[in-house]
Amino acid sequence: MGLTGQTSKEGQRKAAMAVLAHASAAEIAGHLADIVLPAHENLREPENGLVMLRGRIGGDGAPFNLGEATVSRAAVRLASGEIGFGYTLGRDAQKARMIALCDAMVQSADFSGEVEAKVIAPLRAGLHAERNRKAAETAATRVDFYTMVRGEG
């Protein structure tokens, strides 16, 4: 695979992760039910753990440990050899497993089109709609202040 091919694949995986991580487990499961899943096995059973979140004040201060967050992770391998990894905040083991499965399918030549069209795209549309709705809701409460011109300069 050429460098550009690899980069675009990586970009596609990143974009899929960004959507899947924000979607709820029930939504992912609902969309996954629409496609015939390829044979797969759990390479790493879903497990929970902690990651240390680090912060910087103002984005450029000295790094400090903000606190720990619970994450779940899983790794799934398709019968054809592609391996997908799933990490998500929280303790939802099934969500981590489904994300890993989607990640594996995104890498597979046979399934990437289908999973993109039937799972990722609808989830992305839902996510955008929700963000737009919230933005519109917030925008409706906006108050613009302006100053009347007072007399002479």
Partner 1 sequence: MTTFAELPPGFADKVLSAQSTFRSVMDAMARPGSVQCVTANAGVPSGLMRGSAAIALTLFDHDTPIWLDAAMSETTDVARWLKFHTSAPVIADSSIASFALIGDAGSLPALDCFAFGSNEYPDRSTTLILQVDSLTRGPAFELKGPGIDGTALLQAMIRPRDLFERLAINETLFPRGIDIVLVHDDAIVAIPRTTRLVASGV
Q: Which residues are near partner 1 by CB under 8 A?
A: 41-45, 47, 77, 81-83, 107
Q: C-alpha distances in angstroms, 56 versus 4, 60, 61, 68, 89?
A: 34, 6, 5, 15, 20
Minimum CB distance to partner 1, residue 100 (Å): 12
Q: Compare residues 81 and 153 and give the one whose CB is closer to partner 1.
A: 81
Q: Which is nearer to partner 1, 42 or 132 (CB)?
A: 42
The nearer residue to partner 1, 34 or 47, going by C-beta atoms, is: 47
- Nearer of residues 9 and 118 to partner 1, judged by Cβ: 9
Looking at beta carbons only, is 10 or 130 nearer to partner 1?
10
Q: Closest approach of Cβ 77 to partner 1, in Å?
A: 7
CB of 97 to partner 1, least distance (A): 13
Q: Taking the complex as a whole, how short is the minimal distance between the CB of residue 84 and partner 1, in angstroms?
A: 9
In order, the DSSP letters of the chain are: --HHHHHHHHHHHHHHHHHHHHS-HHHHHHHHTTS-PPPEEEEEEEEEEEEEEEEEGGGTS-EEEEEEEEEEEEEEEETTS-EEEEEEESS-HHHHHHHHHHHHHHHSTTTHHHHIIIIIHHHHHHHHHHHHHHHHHHHHT---------S--
- Shortest distance, position 141 Cβ to partner 1, whole Å: 47
